[in-house]
Copies of this chain bind each other. A is one copy, B any other.
């Protein structure tokens, strides 16, 4: 694909669709939403408002990190603190579908709609890519940002039109477009991170205590595996407990799963054959997290597993 031409065509299309209207988008710091932010801002300038929703499910220091990156590119990002709304909506839920639905509903109905109203925007930009659409249509993925593909009229339901300029690209194409738009390497080459964020990395109920545990494990995994160049690496907190020994006494401890995969576009994935040095170091650090006494490595390719657990 001729990516410079793709960018030019999309800018023209966006300008025609939006006209002199106002647009809004939410950036999560992931590759897709960062690239759509840069692309829509190139097309619309100050007609675009970009927000970052702090949902309590983010990695350590994420809101400030993301806002800082875009500030350097001259793109203002407003941080919306919605932590209490998300934690309240997730309370008591253990079913994966209900958890995702609670996050989607809180995001759109509670947080986003009021931001859209406040901004007066009629156009919402989404970082949907081709793989999202294929997997949602196939019933593999329950992606929250492809409402129109599922036949939901967003103008009726939420009061805005959804614009998805990346929906013909796969991950590698998105990265190329991001590079051409001047996004820094640590954004463009950032490993994928799911929409429901750390909630997708917790099997069972999402609580502040469990978020703290999986956030600590995520930081360790990202630090130890950043140098591998793998497509994606992550930590998952299981709901099961296992027996262990702490200070000479039997205890039930929590279980962290480490996953590290290679993939071109997330449709299929193979497991990275990490060195035993790395695996042992990960285990030592992860079992030092309070309450965690097991570290497992996920050996399963996609298919038959997905990348995430929830």
Query: Which A residues contact B (CB, under 8 angstroms)?
Result: 96, 138-142, 203-204, 238-246, 248-250, 252-253, 257-258, 271, 273, 276, 279-280, 282-283, 287, 293-306, 308-310
Among all A-B residue pairs, the 7 with the closest Cβ atoms: A296-B296, A245-B303, A242-B309, A283-B299, A293-B304, A243-B306, A140-B250
Partner of A244, one of B204, B283, B305: B305
Residue of B nearest to A280 (CB): B299
Across-interface contacts of A308 in B (CB, < 8 A): 243
8 Å CB contact of A293 from B243, B296, B305, B310? B305
Q: List 10 A-B contacts (CB under 8 A).
A: A138-B248, A245-B305, A246-B303, A258-B299, A273-B276, A282-B299, A283-B299, A283-B301, A295-B299, A295-B300
Q: What are the residues of chain B within 8 A of A302 when measuring CB–CB?
A: 245
Question: Known contacts A142-B250, A250-B140, A300-B287: does B309 contact A243 (CB below 8 Å)?
Answer: yes
Contacts of A245 in B (CB 8 A): 140, 302-306
Cross-chain contact A244 with B293 (CB below 8 angstroms)? no
Whether A297 contacts B297 by the Cβ 8 Å rule is yes
A288 to B34: give the CA distance in the assembly, Å. 39
A310 vs B253: C-alpha distance when bound (angstroms): 11
CA distance A257 to B300 in the complex (A): 11
In the complex, what distance in Å separates the CA atom of A302 from the CA atom of B245? 8
Given contacts A239-B239, A294-B300, 12 further A-B contacts (CB under 8 A): A204-B240, A242-B305, A243-B305, A244-B303, A245-B305, A246-B303, A246-B304, A253-B305, A280-B299, A287-B304, A295-B300, A297-B297
Which chain B residues lie closer than 8 Å to A141 at the CB level?
250
Query: Shortest Cβ distance from A216 into chain B, in angstroms?
Result: 16
Q: Which residue of the partner chain B has the closest CB to A142?
A: B250
User: Cβ of B296 and Cβ of A257 under 8 Å apart?
Assistant: yes
| Contact of A299 with B299 in the complex, beta carbons under 8 Å | no
Q: Chain B residues near A287: list those with CB within 8 A.
A: 300, 304-305
- A221 CB to closest chain B CB (Å) equals 12
The minimal Cβ–Cβ distance linking A142 to chain B, given in whole angstroms, is 7
Q: Which residue of B lies closest to A243 (CB)?
A: B306
Contact B240 A239 (CB under 8 A): yes
Closest to A250 in B: B140
State how many angstroms separate the Cβ of A233 from the closest Cβ of chain B. Answer: 15
How many angstroms between the C-alpha atoms of A310 and B241 in the bound complex? 9
Contact status A310-B243, CB under 8 Å: yes
Select one of B240, B252, B299 contacting A279, CB under 8 A: B299
Residues of B contacting A244 with CB < 8 Å?
300, 303-306
Q: Please, how many angstroms separate the alpha-carbon atoms of A125 and B310 in the complex?
A: 49
Residue of B nearest to A299 (CB): B283
Residues of B within 8 A of A246 (CB): 303-304
A141–B302 CA distance with the chains assembled, in angstroms:
38
Give the chain B neighbours of A258 by CB distance below 8 A: 299
Min CB distance A192 to B, Å, is: 15
